[in-house]
Amino acid sequence: MNLITLFFLPAILLVGAITSYEDIKKSVIRNIYLILGICYSAVVHIGLFIVGYINQNYIFTMLIYVILAFILGILLWYLGIWNAGDAKLFICYTSLIPIITTTGQVRDISFIALLTNTVIPIFIYLLVHMMIVTTKKQKINALKKIIDWKYILLTLLTVFSLSWVIQITLTKFNIVYNVLYGLIGIMLLSAILQKLPFYESIGIMALIAILRVFVNQQYLLSSNFILDFIIITLIYICIRIVIFELGKYYILKKNIRDIKENEIPVQAITTDGIKMNIPDYIRFKNLKYIVKPSDRLDKESIASINKLYISKKLHFNTIYVQQTIPFAIHMFIGAILTILSNGTVMNIVQRIL
């Protein structure tokens, strides 16, 4: 840990402790703490610049990081990966984590390292939790879906094409490509492509794959590529099993009076006060709905549901919602890991090995 980190560590610890507590207890991340954290970062950076401890290049690089973290945070919010509070907390931490350097050279991009170190604890938590809460039958069903030959071909195409895009992008920013960055990039790009019609996304990945065969031919025959490709593919499949297949069983039964903003129902509710499971919803998509499966509840939809409930026009008292993960505590852990490892957690693993 270098000297500059000590100036920001108190704010990181304070913001992390408060936001983690409130996210776990109240499912909220209040803006006031994030604004104070960013203001603290600005004051300290200005002070360090005045005394000559950091230069203009450092200030400019930090501003670029914050802007890029803002764009990435908004993108992840748009894709439904986290909510607005998590995106703002991500920007706050980016402003507080010093630029990661080795012998004066930027080694890792701090906000990318932060995202990587946040995702790892979340995946470990989900992996352990899903193994405990799901039945043997549910695990077998998830595995059967994943090992279907069509799914395997799609996975191979996804990893082969998108990992190349990530590799090229990181190289442009002088960032060393590794398995962790590759996996996060593939998950992000695949989430973006899922917004397109299925055959369009397949077509885009197929074109990238064909181009890679012609342009990247020599590297494709190397042992480094084969090893990296196998590792990333296997881990990607494990992630898909845990998050997307077993994740559908990660649900909670809630009383209508207890539902909150940003919760995600796995059932649809019509304007007539009828609750529908996904198979019925697919059959009757032409009905008018207050909320659809996988839609986040907002103030307007909650108000409409409560109005039906008060007027006794609701034909049920409970609904199943997707259990959400308190991102704040995991991002706090990610920030601490970023500081301790001076980059991604893989640096610590490499030191131990």
Domain termination residue (choose one: 220, 248, 276): 248
73 located within any domain: yes
What is the total count of domains within the chain? 3
Residues 262, 215 share a domain: no
Which amino acid makes up residue 257? R
Which residues, in sequence order, are bridge partners of residue 276? 268
Domain termination residue (choose one: 217, 248, 279): 248
Task: Show the domain range for 264.
Answer: 251-322
Residues 99, 141 share a domain: no
117 located within any domain: no
Mean pLDDT, contiguous 10-residue spans, the chain (353 residues): 83 96 86 95 95 90 94 85 88 92 64 89 81 82 80 92 91 78 88 85 94 88 88 87 71 82 81 78 77 79 87 83 82 92 74 61
159 located within any domain: yes
- Considering only the C-alpha atoms of the chain, give the largest distance between any 2 of them, rounded to a whole number of Å: 69
Residues 243, 149 share a domain: yes
pLDDT at 68: 92
226 located within any domain: yes
Which amino acid makes up residue 30? R
Residues 311, 234 share a domain: no
Residues 279, 220 share a domain: no
Residues 232, 144 share a domain: yes
pLDDT at 206: 95
Residues 331, 309 share a domain: no
d(CA 353, CA 349): 6
125 located within any domain: no
Residues 335, 309 share a domain: no
Residues 140, 48 share a domain: no
First to last CA, the chain: 20
255 located within any domain: yes
d(CA 170, CA 164): 10
Residues 34, 83 share a domain: yes
344 located within any domain: no
